[in-house]
């Protein structure tokens, strides 16, 4: 199994465990390439973490939700169209290209088929994001999470299609928010935050003018920042005033945004984000949506490095869906010197005390 480590821990001679792609889905470095100083320097500039080959995990694979080719086709479709739309002379006249909506719908139907048969997402989707492709990775991730929730709710295919396409396009309004505001690493001023909030309205107004798209898709952009207690934006809707898609997107969007690494801050572990979502049920998020999401997305994705209560470092290698907080882990170095597996669902005297911060662990040579 490839093992995810911080790029700060990369050393010459390590082999890449998963191919690296740019924002348009083009291969930068292929799986299996031996890392050199020059490669490592570039990776540190663009990525917070990557996968490396590790013989301690031979025979174990990270269960991918979708194939790399399918993901990158979606990301390239978005990147091409967003690049074209961003060059439009007038916001009022912005329109998608003739084949964009059809292509996106066809790809979404394929994604729906894949996600429908995924009982639990065990992959750390945020690990696929680099600093230059985070926008498109985030859009695809949110679509995957939203579809998982929608399928769990038993939504018909027509609604799932609109939900998935809406999730892919939920942030399109950010094209009209100044980049220096969107990417500002420091706390936003009140005026800057007001600028960011406008992206929900921009996205709605742009999408509602596209004849190929349903009005429900436009509402994904309009309502993904609304919150149950009325503290969201842009219309401060409350409770059942919020469309079902808005409630779903609120959870999917916040989760992926929090777990994803940024140049100016590390991502939060999935377990900690799940705790945040549950602690905000009723005030910010819908209970049914959060409860279903917690069953559809693992709080300890396969490949996650964890610190055990006895001080040993381990990696999650398997899940127990009946007991999601107690996965199967492989200790990287035991007293006997070799790796060993521990099933935390039966070894109750051990707990996970820290997860997800790959920078604190030592790399295996």
* Whether residue 356 is found in the same domain as residue 243: no
Over residues 209-249, the pLDDT tens digits come to 999 999 999 999 999 999 999 999 999 999 999 999 999 99
* Whether residue 125 is found in the same domain as residue 80: yes
* Whether residue 135 is found in the same domain as residue 178: yes
44 in a structural domain: yes
Q: What's the pTM?
A: 0.89
User: Comparing 53 with 161, which gets the higher pLDDT?
Assistant: 161
215 in a structural domain: yes
* Whether residue 329 is found in the same domain as residue 313: yes
Q: How far apart are CA 25 and CA 23, in angstroms?
A: 6
Over residues 289-332, the pLDDT tens digits come to 999 999 999 999 888 888 999 999 888 988 887 888 899 999 87
Over residues 87-99, the pLDDT tens digits come to 887 888 889 998 9
168 in a structural domain: yes
365 in a structural domain: no
335 in a structural domain: yes
State the DSSP string of 86-123.
Answer: HT-S-GGG----TTHHHHHHHHHHHHHHHHHT-SSB-S
266 in a structural domain: yes
* Whether residue 52 is found in the same domain as residue 81: no
* Whether residue 243 is found in the same domain as residue 198: yes
Query: Within 10 A of 105 (CB to CB), how many other CB atoms are there?
Result: 15
* Whether residue 128 is found in the same domain as residue 239: yes
The answer to whether the CB of 316 falls within 8 A of the CB of 329 is: yes
H helix or E strand, kind and range, residue 137: helix 134-152
* Whether residue 206 is found in the same domain as residue 340: no
| DSSP 8-state assignment for residue 8 | G
Over residues 327-349, the pLDDT tens digits come to 999 987 655 566 788 999 999 99
166 in a structural domain: yes
213 in a structural domain: yes
H helix or E strand, kind and range, residue 351: none
Q: How far apart are CA 251 and CA 189, in angstroms?
A: 25
Q: How far apart are CA 88 and CA 97, in angstroms?
A: 12
Containing structural domain, residue 44 = 3-62+302-360
Over residues 168-194, the pLDDT tens digits come to 999 999 999 998 898 888 889 999 999
Q: How far is CA 350 from CA 169, 310, 323, 343, in A?
A: 43, 7, 14, 10
Over residues 142-156, the pLDDT tens digits come to 999 999 999 999 999
Q: Using the 3D structure, point to which of 252, 274, 296 is the last residue of a domain.
A: 296
The answer to whether the CB of 165 falls within 8 A of the CB of 147 is: no
The answer to whether the CB of 160 falls within 8 A of the CB of 306 is: no
The total number of structural domains in the chain stands at 2
Q: How far apart are CA 51 and CA 303, in angstroms?
A: 9
């Amino acid at each position: 199994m490839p093992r995810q480590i911080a790029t700060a821990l990369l050393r010459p001679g390590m082999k890449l465990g998963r191919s690296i792609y740019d924002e348009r889905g083009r291969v930068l470095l292929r799986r299996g390439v031996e890392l050199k100083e020059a490669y490592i320097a570039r990776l540190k500039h663009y990525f917070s973490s990557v996968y490396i080959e590790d013989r301690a995990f031979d025979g174990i694979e990270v269960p991918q939700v979708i194939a790399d080719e399918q993901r990158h086709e979606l990301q390239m479709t978005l990147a091409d169209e967003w690049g074209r739309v961003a060059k439009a002379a007038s916001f009022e006249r912005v329109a998608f290209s003739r084949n964009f909506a059809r292509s996106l719908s066809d790809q979404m139907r394929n994604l729906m088929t894949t996600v429908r048969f995924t009982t639990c997402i065990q992959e750390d989707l945020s690990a696929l994001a680099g600093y230059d492709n985070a926008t498109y990775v985030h859009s695809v991730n949110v679509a995957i999470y939203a579809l998982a929730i929608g399928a769990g709710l038993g939504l018909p295919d027509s609604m799932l299609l609109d939900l998935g396409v809406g999730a892919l396009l939920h942030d399109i309004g950010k094209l009209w928010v100044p980049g220096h505001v969107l990417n500002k690493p420091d706390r936003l001023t009140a005026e800057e935050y007001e600028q960011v909030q406008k992206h929900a309205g921009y996205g709605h107004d742009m999408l509602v003018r596209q004849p190929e798209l349903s009005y429900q898709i436009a509402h994904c952009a309009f309502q993904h920042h609304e919150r149950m207690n009325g503290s969201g934006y842009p219309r401060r809707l409350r409770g059942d005033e919020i469309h079902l898609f808005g409630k779903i997107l609120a959870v999917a969007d916040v989760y992926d945004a929090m777990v994803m690494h940024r140049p100016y801050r590390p991502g939060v572990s999935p377990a900690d984000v799940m705790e945040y979502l549950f602690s905000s049920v009723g005030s910010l998020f819908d209970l049914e949506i959060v409860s279903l999401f917690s069953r559809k997305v693992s709080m300890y994705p396969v490949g996650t490095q964890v610190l055990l209560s006895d001080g040993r470092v381990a990696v999650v290698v398997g899940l127990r869906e009946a007991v999601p907080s107690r996965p199967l882990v492989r200790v990287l170095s035991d007293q006997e010197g070799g790796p060993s597996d521990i099933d935390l669902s039966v070894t109750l005297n051990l707990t996970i005390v820290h997860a997800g911060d790959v920078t604190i662990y030592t790399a295996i040579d």
